[in-house]
Every structure is written in C-alpha cells, then in structure tokens.
Chain A
C-alpha cells in the first residue's frame, strides 16, 4: 500500500491550494497502483473528505468546472469497484459491472443537491447499486430465461475458457456438452439464451440524459489502451465506428479486417471467447442502429492500414 499523503489544502475552497495530482491507490485486485482514490478511502479524516467532496461538487455545479466533475468520478471509482465486486459472481463480467456502476456514480454526481446535507458517498452508493441492479433486471436477460439455462450458460462460459487453451481450438458443441454434463440440444439452447443477454452500451455517454457529450465510460477505465491506440491510428473514426468504444472498434478490426478468430481475439484482448462473441454482436447492433445497416461505406470505412 502506498503511503497516504494526508496533506490537504488549508482552505478547501481554494482551488490553487489543492494537490496538483490525485493520489493513487492499490486496488485489492490489482498488482499495481491504478486509480486515484476517493477521500473516504485514503485515510483522510471524514471531515476533510466531506470538505473536498463539497468543494469539488460546488466547482462543478456552481461554476461548471468539468475537471472537478472528472476528479470526483475518478476519486469514487474505487467505491464503484467495491460495490460491483458484490455482484461479480452472477455471471456478468466485473469490468462491465464497474462501467454500469460508474453510470450510477456519474448520475449521483450530476444530480447531487448541494443544499441538502448529505454526503456524496451516502448519496452515490444507492445510485451505483441501483444502476447495477437495473442492469441485471432490465438489460440482462431481455426475455425470461429459465434459471437452469442461465446457469448452464454461465457454466459454458467457464467450460469454453477451459477447453480453448486445452484443445488449442474452439470446442465443438459435443465437446461442450460433455464437459458441461449436458446434451448438445441443451448447450445450443443455452447458447441461444446468451443472445437474449444484452449489455448496455458502454460507449453511451453516462450523461446522455443531460445531453452531455462527454467521452464514454471506457475513457474513464483502464484496459489495453496501447493496443487500442495502435488500431486507432489506422481506423477512421467515421460516424458508424465513432459510436463504438475503443475496445469494440478494436475487436471488430481484429475480427473483420485482421481475420482473427474469436478465440485469438479473446486471448489478445484478455477476455473470454463468449464475451468476444457478445461484443461483436453488440457492436454490429450498435452500428446498425447508428447507420441503418452495415453497408454505407462512407460511414463505416476503415482506411490507412490496407
């Protein structure tokens, strides 16, 4: 754990006296320091944390200071992670839950009422949890899927992750059935249910309700950015692709322009093959929503690398 720096401005309303850079902390799952920590997690006194929160909230709400808002988001991402972790065993990817929870955080920051004597932590926590629960309820299984099939689907995710490295190829349906102690028909049915399993747009602006056109949540979160940026140099951010987040663009690029298989993409990006499959379907759906279909070269063009 990095030693905490408890120095803080003598006057919390004096922007110039704030530390120039937010401190970083070690998340319990991370090997490296990753994210600036919320005051509540730094070992700062409760009063000091509250004052800093209030200061930043005032800067944002009264003066429109976007950096103050961003700092609050960054500071409270550990809280989002902590809450998302509670739901990580329910078959959804942890990173996605963090991003969903971050929407709740941002909504809480944007809707925070300075005139009410409530701490941001107190106000944000139910917002974050509510957003995650809503995700499971409304954006999870879009049709009612029997619990048995949901569980088989989750089991298949694990089985696929185990079989791909073992077989050095994508498993067959029969192999999946054997490994998951199910029939091929059940496997097909369970796989089909994953089509009913939607994920919210991670690129959608967290402030879409307020018309904010800020960067998507992906920009607040970590990931193999270097690889994405390499692709970015070669991909035109035309309207269709611009609606996709960096990871989605990267995955479509690898699949349809580099010719990599889902398993190869999964290995490169560091997610499961099933997740790659879902991301490809979701990305194509988003492209379709954005440009009507996938056949408007003028808006879905990739240039430079070919």
Chain B
C-alpha cells in the first residue's frame, strides 16, 4: 500500500523544519532509527537547497511516500542542467564531497527520472535492522 504526502514549501531555509517534522512523523511509523531519519533529512534538505540554488526556485515541491517498509522522497520537477550534473557526480570519478556523494552516503538509493516537465529526483530509505 502506498501512502503519500505532497508538500509545497517556500524555497527558504526556514521552511525546512516543516519538511523534517513530516519526514520524522513518517519515519516513526516505519520505526526508523534516529540515524536513518537524520540521514534522510540531511539528504532531502541538501537536495532541496541545491535545487533552490541551481534553479532560483521560489518554492519546493516534495512528495513523501511510504512504500512497504521504505520511505520514498520525490523532489522536482527540475530543469537545471547544472543540478543534473551535480547529481551525476564528478565526471572524472574523483572523490569530492559533491551532492552525488552526499546523497549516496545518506540514502539507500536515488534516481533521476525524466518526465515532460524536466526531471525529478527520487530518494529511497529503508529500515536497515532486522
């Protein structure tokens, strides 16, 4: 069963607590650990701030969905080639603390999906412990 919340937020740091609280509420239901929640929150906020910087957005659009025992966070649509480049990571494979590495380190997986309006980013985080 898929249950989702769609959120439209002003693209401002002051709006991020709302996002984090909602993520927290869903994470409680999935019995996430504190670190799993913090990782997901960090990934979501860094993605939104990067998107806000790249696209000069006035608002952030985010959908949070509980899918089985995983939490999916979908952000977008975006159009900026710069943001897409950031999500792809360093072309030469060098180790740098870019958005790609940050997301890879904090969520189980993330994907860039093209659609008619541009592309969106889906991040998936699940409960790790048995």
Q: Which residues of A contact B (CB under 8 A)?
A: 160, 169-174, 176, 184-185, 188-189, 191-192, 195, 240, 252, 255-257, 259, 261-263, 273, 277, 280-281, 284, 287-288, 292-295, 297, 300-303, 305-306
Q: Is the interface of A mostly helix, strand, loop or mixed?
A: helix
Residue contact A294 to B28, C-beta cutoff 8 Å: no
Q: Kindly provide the distance from the CB of A161 to the nearest chain B CB, expressed in whole angstroms.
A: 12
User: Given the complex of chains A and B, what is the CA–CA distance between A178 and B86 in angstroms?
Assistant: 41
Residue contact B28 to A293, C-beta cutoff 8 Å: no
User: Given the complex of chains A and B, what is the CA–CA distance between A257 and B95 in angstroms?
Assistant: 8
User: Given the complex of chains A and B, what is the CA–CA distance between A287 and B102 in angstroms?
Assistant: 13
User: Given the complex of chains A and B, what is the CA–CA distance between A281 and B90 in angstroms?
Assistant: 22
Residue contact B31 to A192, C-beta cutoff 8 Å: no
Q: A173-B32, A192-B24 are in contact. Are A297 and B94 (CB under 8 A)?
A: yes
Residue contact A297 to B96, C-beta cutoff 8 Å: yes
Residue contact A160 to B28, C-beta cutoff 8 Å: no
Residue contact B95 to A306, C-beta cutoff 8 Å: yes
Q: List 27 A-B contacts (CB under 8 A).
A: A171-B33, A174-B28, A192-B17, A192-B21, A192-B24, A240-B97, A256-B97, A256-B101, A256-B102, A257-B95, A259-B105, A261-B35, A262-B38, A263-B35, A273-B34, A281-B42, A284-B102, A293-B49, A293-B53, A293-B99, A294-B97, A295-B85, A297-B90, A300-B96, A301-B94, A302-B96, A302-B97
Q: Is the interface of B mostly helix, strand, loop or mixed?
A: helix
**B2 contacts the other chain (Cβ, under 8 Å)?**
no
Which 8 pairs of residues, A with B, have the shortest CB-CB distance?
A170-B35, A170-B33, A188-B24, A297-B96, A295-B86, A301-B96, A306-B95, A295-B98
Q: Which residues of B contact A (CB under 8 A)?
A: 17, 20-21, 24-25, 27-28, 31-38, 42, 46, 49-50, 53, 85-86, 90, 94-99, 101-102, 105, 129
Given contacts A173-B32, A176-B34, A295-B85, could you give 8 more A-B pairs where the C-beta distance is less than 8 Å? A169-B33, A172-B33, A192-B21, A240-B97, A257-B95, A284-B46, A294-B98, A297-B94
Q: Kindly provide the distance from the CB of A53 to the nearest chain B CB, expressed in whole angstroms.
A: 44
Q: Kindly provide the distance from the CB of B83 to the nearest chain A CB, expressed in whole angstroms.
A: 9
Enumerate chain A residues within 8 angstroms of B98, measured Cβ to Cβ.
Answer: 294-295, 297, 300
Q: Kindly provide the distance from the CB of B15 to the nearest chain A CB, expressed in whole angstroms.
A: 13
Residue contact B95 to A173, C-beta cutoff 8 Å: no
Contact of A191 among B24, B32, B90 (CB under 8 A): B24
User: Given the complex of chains A and B, what is the CA–CA distance between A237 and B28 in angstroms?
Assistant: 39
Residue contact A172 to B31, C-beta cutoff 8 Å: yes
User: Given the complex of chains A and B, what is the CA–CA distance between A45 and B88 in angstroms?
Assistant: 66
User: Which residue of A is nearest B33, CB measured?
Assistant: A170
Contact of A280 among B21, B27, B42, B96 (CB under 8 A): B42
User: Given the complex of chains A and B, what is the CA–CA distance between A174 and B25 in angstroms?
Assistant: 11
Contact of A303 among B42, B85, B94 (CB under 8 A): B94
Q: Kindly provide the distance from the CB of B75 to the nearest chain A CB, expressed in whole angstroms.
A: 16
User: Given the complex of chains A and B, what is the CA–CA distance between A293 and B97 in angstroms?
Assistant: 10
Enumerate chain B residues within 8 angstroms of A240, measured Cβ to Cβ.
Answer: 97
User: Given the complex of chains A and B, what is the CA–CA distance between A176 and B94 in angstroms?
Assistant: 39
Contact of B20 among A192, A295, A305 (CB under 8 A): A192
Residue contact B35 to A262, C-beta cutoff 8 Å: yes
Q: Kindly provide the distance from the CB of B50 to the nearest chain A CB, expressed in whole angstroms.
A: 6
User: Given the complex of chains A and B, what is the CA–CA distance between A273 and B38 in angstroms?
Assistant: 11
Q: Kindly provide the distance from the CB of A230 to the nearest chain B CB, expressed in whole angstroms.
A: 17
Residue contact A273 to B35, C-beta cutoff 8 Å: yes
Enumerate chain A residues within 8 angstroms of B28, measured Cβ to Cβ.
Answer: 172-174, 184, 188
User: Given the complex of chains A and B, what is the CA–CA distance between A262 and B105 in angstroms?
Assistant: 12
Q: Kindly provide the distance from the CB of A113 to the nearest chain B CB, expressed in whole angstroms.
A: 42
Residue contact B46 to A294, C-beta cutoff 8 Å: yes
User: Given the complex of chains A and B, what is the CA–CA distance between A172 and B32 in angstroms?
Assistant: 6
